[in-house]
């Protein structure tokens, strides 16, 4: 082993331990001594990408390519960097140049597939993923990507088959295990789906189990008088939707503390005969359980989904106050809408509807947008019309007590799949839910009857992916009728 190879081992140690700052400094120092050693750049560049130092990484990727233009690695890194910068067409160009040098480069073929998928060209993405699998069928990531595309295309059987291939290659591929669980839940295979869903804590970028020193609730047997902490784990809508299981625990005689997000605190305190808090860290408990593990413990199936026996209550004073603030129409029906959600949500692109689709409805209804933020395109359109009221600018809107009061004052709610649907459903307000194709697992899919989470909901689904014209047309007919 040469002296430089011996030194590189130290840098690799830093890299494997994710000590990126030390790894960067180490490889930069070596490059000053050996500026023509391409191996050093191949380690430095991913270190910089991991720190999102894309400008510096691109400079070193260009140097790597110029050191040996017959090697495709520099081009692949330039593609990866541009992909991270969301320059997808530029990234694709670099990846395609790299396979001109080496048509059998697995990483290049995989990244072309990933980029085509990002550009919405799934047919081409599948072609390149299959080519990557032909080069190396021992990499689970290619089958995970194939599974996710077939899931997006609503072919869940093919999706599950590819996820299973990924797991066969790597039994610890928790991304694929989680993905299978979502497919199974969509297909109403709740027994296997919730069992696999319990492994979500091992998935990358997923919130860890919150409390380390409290025993986990593993059974609902013998919990009478036991002090049990139930804590929220995902979105506000999830907390409202699955809170129905808290009452089941209370009915079994457990002493429940329900830890919820702060914006929901006052609203949910009114609904449950137990302690509701946004910080349970100082209390002592016999057991803990994340809220969305309760369906697994209660062995949820399509027949035993708990109904809302008593609708959630709003603050009457808030309802009266918002009635004055809103300036409701006396000649038209008043409708609340939500057209986009959390921009950081992984599938946000599926559930975003442009505001222009709703403009024709303003002829018949007074429309209020009940969400905090809008995409720039919708803001521009909103500034050109006086027919739609955007409540996100209201300084009086502070928490879900306010949101529930606003919803209570509406004649009905129209929404993509956000917490507004669950809030409206929980207080017995008529809801029209506009669902993408594919939809989130909790709403199943069009070939199966949707789980009856709420009695007052009308679901209108996309018939063709990314096409909102047909659902909006169907909605308009239902509203006017």
pLDDT for 333-389, tens place per residue? Answer: 999 999 997 766 656 677 789 999 999 999 999 999 999 999 899 999 998 888 899
pLDDT at 346: 58
- CATH number for the domain spanning 93: value is 1.25.40.10
The phi, psi pair for 423, rounded to 5°, reads -65, -50
- Tell me what the mean pLDDT of segment 219-228 comes to: 96
Does 186 fall in a domain? no
- Tell me what the mean pLDDT of segment 377-402 comes to: 91
pLDDT at 8: 87
Q: How many domains does the chain have?
A: 3
Residue 64 in tokens: 């790597």
- CATH number for the domain spanning 341: value is 3.40.50.2000
pLDDT at 124: 97
pLDDT at 448: 74
pLDDT of 254 strictly over 60: yes
| 327 plus 292 within the same structural domain | no
Q: Final residue of a domain: which of 145, 162, 181? A: 181
The phi, psi pair for 478, rounded to 5°, reads -65, -40
Question: What confidence tens digit (pLDDT) does each residue in 91-133 have?
Answer: 999 999 999 999 999 999 999 999 999 999 999 999 999 999 9
| 18 plus 155 within the same structural domain | yes
| 276 plus 347 within the same structural domain | no
Does 156 fall in a domain? yes
Q: Final residue of a domain: which of 146, 181, 216? A: 181
| 45 plus 177 within the same structural domain | yes
Does 304 fall in a domain? no
* Residue whose structure tokens are 């429309």: 367
Q: pTM for the full model?
A: 0.90
| 292 plus 363 within the same structural domain | no
Average pLDDT, the chain: 93
Q: Residue 308 — pLDDT band, cuts 50, 70, 90? A: confident
| 119 plus 257 within the same structural domain | no
Domain of residue 272 covers 227-297
- CATH number for the domain spanning 237: value is 3.40.50
| 292 plus 349 within the same structural domain | no
Please give the Cα distance from 452 to 93 (Å, whole number).
48
CA-wise closest residue to 110 among 77, 155, 141: 141
| 123 plus 88 within the same structural domain | yes
Reduce the DSSP state of residue 338 to 3 states and report it.
Answer: strand
Phi-psi region of 120 (alpha: psi -120 to 50; beta: other; left: phi over 0): left
| 277 plus 344 within the same structural domain | no
pLDDT at 452: 84
| 9 plus 156 within the same structural domain | yes
What DSSP state is assigned to residue 297?
H
| 80 plus 138 within the same structural domain | yes
Residues in CB range of 241: below 8 A, 6 or more apart? 422, 442, 453
Does 45 fall in a domain? yes
| 59 plus 168 within the same structural domain | yes
């Amino acid at each position: 082993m040469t002296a430089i190879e011996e030194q590189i081992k130290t840098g690799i140690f830093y890299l494997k331990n994710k000590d990126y700052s030390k790894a960067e400094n180490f490889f930069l120092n070596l490059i000053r001594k050996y500026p023509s050693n391409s191996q050093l750049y191949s380690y430095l560049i991913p270190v910089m990408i991991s720190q999102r130092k894309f400008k510096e990484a691109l400079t070193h990727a260009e140097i790597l390519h110029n050191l040996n233009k017959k090697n495709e690695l520099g081009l692949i890194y330039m593609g990866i960097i541009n992909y991270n910068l969301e320059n997808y067409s530029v990234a694709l160009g670099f990846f395609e140049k790299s396979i001109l040098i080496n048509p059998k480069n697995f990483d290049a073929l995989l990244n072309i597939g990933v980029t085509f998928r990002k550009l919405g060209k799934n047919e081409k993405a599948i072609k390149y993923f299959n080519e990557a699998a032909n080069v190396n069928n021992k990499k689970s990531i290619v089958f995970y990507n194939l599974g996710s595309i077939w899931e997006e295309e609503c072919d869940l059987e093919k999706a599950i088959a590819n996820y299973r291939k990924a797991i066969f290659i790597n039994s610890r591929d928790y991304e694929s295990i989680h993905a299978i669980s979502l497919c199974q839940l969509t297909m109403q295979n709740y027994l296997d789906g919730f069992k696999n869903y319990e492994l979500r804590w091992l998935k990358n970028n997923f919130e860890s189990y919150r409390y380390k020193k409290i025993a986990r609730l593993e059974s609902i047997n013998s919990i009478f008088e036991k002090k049990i902490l139930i804590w929220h784990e995902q979105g506000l809508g999830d907390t409202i939707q699955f809170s129905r299981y808290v009452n089941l625990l209370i009915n079994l005689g457990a002493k429940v503390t329900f830890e919820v997000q702060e914006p929901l605190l006052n609203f949910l305190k009114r609904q449950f005969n137990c302690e509701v808090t946004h910080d349970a860290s100082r209390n002592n408990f016999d057991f803990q359980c994340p809220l969305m593990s309760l369906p697994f413990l209660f062995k949820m199936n399509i027949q035993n989904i708990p109904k809302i026996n008593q609708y959630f209550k709003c603050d009457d004073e808030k309802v009266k106050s918002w009635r004055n603030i809103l300036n409701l129409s006396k000649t038209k029906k008043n409708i609340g809408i939500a057209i986009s959600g959390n921009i950081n949500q992984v599938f946000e692109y599926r559930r975003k509807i442009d505001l222009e689709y709703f403009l024709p409805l303003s002829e018949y209804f007074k429309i209020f947008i009940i969400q905090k933020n809008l995409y720039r395109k919708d803001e521009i359109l909103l500034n050109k019309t006086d027919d739609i009221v955007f409540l996100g600018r209201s300084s009086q809107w502070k928490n879900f007590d306010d949101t529930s009061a606003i919803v209570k004052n509406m004649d009905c709610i129209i929404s993509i799949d956000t917490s507004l649907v669950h809030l409206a459903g929980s207080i017995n307000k008529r809801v029209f839910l506009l669902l993408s194709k594919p939809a989130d697992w909790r709403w199943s899919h069009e070939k199966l009857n949707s789980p009856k989470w709420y009695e007052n909901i009308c679901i209108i689904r996309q018939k063709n992916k990314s096409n909102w014209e047909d659902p909006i047309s169907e909605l308009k007919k239902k509203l006017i009728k």
